[in-house]
Amino acid sequence: MLVPLHKILAKAHKENYAVGAFNINNMEICQAVVGAAVAEKSPVILQTSEGALKYAGIDYLKALATVAAMNKVPVTLHVDHGRDLNLIRSCIKAGWTGIMYDGSHLPLDENIKNTKKVVQWAHKKGIGVEGELGTIGGAEEQIIARKIIYTDPDAAAEFVEKTGVDALAIAIGTSHGAYKFEGSGRLDIHLLKTIKDKLKMPIVLHGASGVPASLVTMAARFGAELGKPEGVPDDQIALAVKNGVNKINTDTDLRLAFDAAVRKVIKERPEEFDPRHILGPARDLMQHIVQHRMKLFGSSGKA
Ligand code: G3H
Ligand code: 13P
Ligand code: ZN
């Protein structure tokens, strides 16, 4: 079933676990994520960035989520880092059940103004909204590279009060992409705890991929040149969940698994050219990674 963002997160907030939000861009990624949710009996958030909406198209992504929702696990179809208000309106109209409005690049008053507008549109349709305050580091296709600005707890309280968002993405040291830390890879758990105690609402962690060494090694073995990627260690994710994070975004780990598995087939079986034989192992490996994360987030068995 397709459920609204605030509903899927309310249970997680109450029972102290996190729902994984995985970026989908094509059928195999969607099948891997949903296959994991079914196997783990876990709720799941399928999220589509503006880049994904451009790449796959709103109708294909909606169709994928509709099929996903036929399973017996709660599924939320969510816009990730929405900035284009017209695109957000189209997704609301098309049946998305969660929206992230990302105004974190704007001055606070403009971020509040736009987020509030999105909340009004969404709540009219029974859809939940995630806002962002502070800036998460790193660069993605549609997101300009920037330095991390940690979320200020007082500003967060003001932001939530003025906008009426259902969930808040905060910056506590993570970055998007595969190169998150130069040092020890620690999150500011104290800041997370302060914000959670103050807001008492679902908190979202972006840039949370683990960048598992096994995937990096596998990709490199079959020709990838990735330099020195670094993710958020599993123990830091567990601490974040324990201290109040209820939605955890993961995209990079899916990309790494996809890349490593596709490279392996092509390198080991150069005679292979059936797309099903090339993409099938990638789908399996992504599902394996997602299942591991659902266990780590504590969402397994919560469907
Ligand atoms: O946080 C961003 C996600 O990884 C999506 O990236 O904009 O390249 O689709 P994208
Ligand atoms: P990663 O790049 O760490 O997977 O983060 C994804 C994300 O935050 C999507 O919004
Ligand atoms: Zn993000």
DSSP SS3 for 161: helix
User: Does the reported pTM lie above 0.95?
Assistant: yes
Q: Give tens-digit pLDDT for 58-83.
A: 999 999 999 999 999 999 999 999 99
Q: Give tens-digit pLDDT for 164-216.
A: 999 999 999 999 999 998 767 789 999 999 999 999 999 999 999 999 999 99
Q: Which of 30, 78, 143 to mutate to test the pocket of ligand 1 (most atoms within 8 A of CB)?
A: 143
Atom index in ligand 1 nearest the CA of residue 141 equals 8
Query: What is the number of the ligand closest to the CA of 175?
Result: 2
Compute the C-alpha angle 68/17/213, nearest 5°.
80
Let me know if 152 is a catalytic residue. no
What number is the average pLDDT over the span 107-122?
97
Ligand 1 pocket list (CB less than 6 A): 23, 49, 51-52, 80-81, 140-142, 176, 251
pLDDT at position 141 over 80: no
Report residue 110: phi and psi, to 5°.
Answer: -70, -40
Instruction: Report how far ligand 1's centroid is from the alpha carbon of 57 (Å).
Output: 15
Closest residue (by CA) to atom 3 of ligand 2?
207
pLDDT band at 139 (very low <50, low <70, confident <90, very high): low
Instruction: Report how far ligand 2's centroid is from the alpha carbon of 269 (Å).
Output: 32
Contact 162, 116 (CB under 8 A): yes
Count Cβ atoms within 10 A of the Cβ of residue 101 and give its class: 0-12 exposed, 13-18 middle, 19 or more buried: buried
pLDDT at position 138 over 90: no
pLDDT band at 137 (very low <50, low <70, confident <90, very high): confident
Biggest CA–CA distance in the chain, Å, is 60
pLDDT at position 143 over 60: no
Closest residue (by CA) to atom 9 of ligand 2?
249
Q: Give tens-digit pLDDT for 241-299.
A: 999 999 999 999 999 999 999 999 999 999 999 999 999 999 999 999 999 999 999 99
Residue 135 has what pLDDT? 83
Ligand 2 pocket list (CB less than 6 A): 23, 80-81, 176-177, 206-209, 249-252
Q: How far is CA 61 from the centre of its chain?
A: 16
pLDDT at position 145 over 70: no
Contact 217, 264 (CB under 8 A): no
Query: 5-297: which CATH architecture?
Result: Alpha-Beta Barrel (3.20)
Supply the DSSP string of 26-80, one letter for each residue. SHHHHHHHHHHHHHHT--EEEEEEHHHHHHH-HHHHHHHHHHHTTSSS-EEEEEE
Q: Give tens-digit pLDDT for 11-34.
A: 999 999 999 999 999 999 999 999
Q: Which of 19, 23, 148 to mutate to test the pocket of ligand 2 (most atoms within 8 A of CB)?
A: 23
